[in-house]
Amino acid sequence: MMRHKSLSRVVDSIRRCALAAAAFGLTQAANAVTPVTVGSKGNEPLIAISPDGTLYISALQHLYRSTNGGASWKELAGPPEASQLNLNSDSSLSIDPGNRVYFTFDYPYAGTTAVCTSDDHGDSWSCNPAVVPGGTDRMWVLAPSMTAAYEVTNEGLYETAFLKSTDRGQTWTPRALGSGLLEPQTGPLLQKRCSSFVLQPIKIYGNGPADEEVKIYVYDPDATGSVISDIRGTGLKLPTALPSASLGKDGTLWVVSEEANPAGGRQVVVARSADEGAHWKKLPPLPATTTGTATFSWVAAAEPGHVGVLYYYTTENGDPGALGKAVWSAQWAESFDADSSAPSWMVTTVEEKIHSGPICVAADCTGTNRFAGDFITAAFDAAGAAHLTWMRQDDAAGATSIRYARIQSLTTPSGYVPPPCGTIETPTPTPDPNATPANVKLVNISGRVLEQTGDKVGIGGFIITGQKPKRVVVRGIGPSLKAGNQPLSGRLEDPAIELHNGSGGTMANDNWRSSQSSELMKSGIAPLDSREAAIIATLPPGDYTAIVHGRNDATGIGLAEIYDIEPDQKGELGNLSVRADVGVDDNVLIDGVIVRGMAPRRVLFRGIGPELRQRGVTGELKDPTLELHDGNGTLLRRNDSWRKAPNAPEIERSGLAPKDEREPAILMRLAPGAYTSIVRGANGTTGIALAEAYKLD
């Protein structure tokens, strides 16, 4: 996605300030930080953020909750299975899009792995106390959707067990088990949007330092008989604590570790991958760590380029586990241009003197030197604020406590929204199911149009194919539209939506919170503004039309969207289209599409205008032009007549060439990713047009 100019200026200003500070050997504080104490029980604090904003921290088998943005914390009783046996075992937690909390731990210590779930913010629990039998250690859970959750632990302390649940954690099915694999130290489970794979950072030990590397396990939840589908190297050396990785909103995978610095200590290094760990770009070390010693690094990612690292730091140089005179602080390094080749970082000391003396990890040491357990964590919320949790010890051998701080981003998020999963095909305002190519898989289409009145409203046409009903969300977006950091000028302030079937039935909504709000929130794609409209429905196979218009005939720029929220179920969306009145300047027809999968696909884009008159539409756009842009905003191709396209014969052979030679078409083989087509009128002409996209193979 193209970065807005105003955001670019903010980033450039921040970068210049950071570079100036670095030139004088300084670090730049992001803003004032006031840490709070979460509790005194447990360690290895792991933070998770619920979609409704509730914060949770697990600390071994202890659980804490905050309902006021981290200002104060309450220790939860937790499930009986966790509290009645042993409170010093490993644990993990995750929250699904419906706010269900997943909590996994040893039951008892080094016994089975249990998974418990809660739908009332941790006040009561439903538990499966024997998900994995035998001795277990270092379990992780991930609940990325309402239909699938994943668990990884080691059975018998050495065999990797990967399990899947399709009933929101009530039952678990082993999907992979590797006999005899010595379990390395592992990090959290991750799943990229639109991907079927589950990723996990691991520490691979070798016969010497040259063999040791942070790698990525790639699990296939639908495969059986093998622990992992792939193991992908990152090029980073092993960190002191457990390995950390994070996925940004755009799907970029980030990994952090530590390595020797020129002063004899350890510096923080970050690497990123755009393809789930197949290829990596290692970034320069964090400037504030090129002297002194850093350890326990943890990475969090948000919008493209927005990355933060939480770590412990001392000005002493050496092995963290052997620095008897070290005084450690908790540090937060944040970058807004981490997607560049030389990012700038702002460093905030979130707390001074959190520990004195050595810090070591896992079996390397015991007692007070291991006060933080195996990791500390950080996470970004939807507004770009960072939520951090770490450990503090009053003196070298004193009591420990779990600490927390919230750091608000220095810049307002750009409003980046990940494009919907799936590929798009086709359309006509009244779709013909027989016209859909058999190999087309559709999940979503979004079209930005100037909503007017009468025939000039935004219309999305689609069909449900197959024999079974399909669960969909149809949205009308307006108030939340932004250009960079500012509300979009001329946006539709109060959209309404109508959903019509082929038999004349109608559903309508003009405020998504007025009905179905619970279902929409559970879907994970509820609109951001209460004035925006949405309908969630299970539709039988047939023809449908979604119409977005302004309430009380208001006008403005709006977004019409159709989501398939069950893309893995039988039945498909087909013949998707966006029809609107095309104006000039910003009031053009913009259509967003996604190419999903692992291989390039041939995709045909069309801009239809003149032939709409044959379908009974008046005021048609008589001479449309078409542009195709990639996810970065780069123009890939432009066309104003399909017969003038460089591959016009190929377009004609597809059987989908426009009927009128004035209508444009672009056929290209596209790599998986996000693309935008723009329909305009030649020489500033205006009129009603249709944007379409077909996946040909």
Shared domain for 395 and 451, answered yes or no, is no
- The residue out of 354, 381, 415 marking a domain boundary is 415
pLDDT band for position 590 (50/70/90)? confident
H/E stretch holding 402: strand 400-407
Query: Does residue 579 surpass a pLDDT of 80?
Result: no
- The share of the chain scoring above pLDDT 90, in percent, equals 39
**Residue pLDDT, tens place only, 321-376:** 999 999 999 999 999 889 888 888 989 999 999 999 999 886 667 677 778 888 99
Rounded distance between C-alpha atoms, residue 300 and residue 309, angstroms? 6
Least confident of 14-28, 167-181, 376-390, 636-650: 14-28
Shared domain for 254 and 388, answered yes or no, is yes
Rounded distance between C-alpha atoms, residue 403 and residue 312, angstroms? 13
Shared domain for 456 and 407, answered yes or no, is no
Shared domain for 407 and 449, answered yes or no, is no
State phi, psi for 535 to the nearest 5 degrees: -135, 130
Shared domain for 398 and 490, answered yes or no, is no
Task: Report yes or no: 619 and 687 within 8 Å, Cβ to Cβ.
Answer: yes
Least confident of 4-8, 366-370, 398-402: 4-8
Task: Report helix, strand or coil for 590.
Answer: strand
- The reported pTM is 0.60
Inside any domain, residue 210: no
**Residue 430: per-residue pLDDT:** 31
How many residues in total does the chain contain? 697
pLDDT band for position 499 (50/70/90)? confident
Rounded distance between C-alpha atoms, residue 305 and residue 684, angstroms? 36
- The residue out of 355, 381, 415 marking a domain boundary is 415
The whole-number average pLDDT for the span 667-691 is 84
pLDDT band for position 144 (50/70/90)? very high
pLDDT band for position 573 (50/70/90)? low
**Residue 373: per-residue pLDDT:** 85
- The share of the chain scoring above pLDDT 70, in percent, equals 78
Inside any domain, residue 194: no
The whole-number average pLDDT for the span 109-128 is 89
Contacts of 37 (CB under 8 A, 6+ apart): 73, 401, 402, 403, 404
Task: Report yes or no: 596 and 443 within 8 Å, Cβ to Cβ.
Answer: yes
Rounded distance between C-alpha atoms, residue 458 and residue 186, angstroms? 49
**Residue 451: per-residue pLDDT:** 43
Inside any domain, residue 94: no
- Domain containing 477 equals 433-695
Rounded distance between C-alpha atoms, residue 533 and residue 477, angstroms? 7
Can you tell me which residue has the tokens 């009129």? 687
Shared domain for 515 and 465, answered yes or no, is yes
Which has more confidence, 29 or 274?
274
The whole-number average pLDDT for the span 533-540 is 87
**Residue 454: per-residue pLDDT:** 55
pLDDT band for position 27 (50/70/90)? very low
Other residues' Cβ atoms within 10 Å of the Cβ of residue 414: 25
Shared domain for 461 and 577, answered yes or no, is yes
Inside any domain, residue 602: yes
Render 342-380 in DSSP notation, one character per residue.
Answer: S---EEEEEEEEEEES----GGG--GGGGTTTT--EEEE
Inside any domain, residue 167: no
Least confident of 14-18, 83-87, 106-110, 329-333: 14-18
Inside any domain, residue 136: no
Which has more confidence, 388 or 675?
388
Which has more confidence, 5 or 295?
295
Inside any domain, residue 73: no
pLDDT band for position 227 (50/70/90)? low
Shared domain for 345 and 397, answered yes or no, is yes
- The residue out of 388, 415, 442 marking a domain boundary is 415
Shared domain for 483 and 534, answered yes or no, is yes
Q: What mean pLDDT, rounded, does the chain reach?
A: 80
Rounded distance between C-alpha atoms, residue 154 and residue 464, angstroms? 43
Rounded distance between C-alpha atoms, residue 579 and residue 590, angstroms? 10
Shared domain for 581 and 681, answered yes or no, is yes
Shared domain for 343 and 294, answered yes or no, is yes
**Residue pLDDT, tens place only, 95-105:** 999 999 999 98
pLDDT band for position 31 (50/70/90)? very low
The dihedral built from the CA positions of residue 644, 650, 652 and 657, taken in this order, carries a sign that is negative
**Residue pLDDT, tens place only, 402-440:** 999 999 875 556 667 777 665 333 333 333 323 322 222
Inside any domain, residue 240: yes
Angle, vertex CA 52, rays to CA 390 and CA 507, nearest 5: 160
Contacts of 653 (CB under 8 A, 6+ apart): none
Query: Does residue 30 surpass a pLDDT of 70?
Result: no
Least confident of 59-68, 135-144, 562-571, 617-626: 562-571
Beta bridge partners of 146: none
Angle, vertex CA 512, rays to CA 509 and CA 516, nearest 5: 95
Shared domain for 450 and 529, answered yes or no, is yes
Domain count, the chain: 2
The whole-number average pLDDT for the span 42-69 is 94
Q: Which of 7-21, 47-61, 229-243 has maximum average pLDDT?
A: 47-61
Contacts of 434 (CB under 8 A, 6+ apart): none
Query: Does residue 496 surpass a pLDDT of 50?
Result: yes
The whole-number average pLDDT for the span 195-200 is 92
Beta bridge partners of 447: 560, 591
Residue 4: half-sphere exposure toward Cβ, Cα within 13 Å: 16
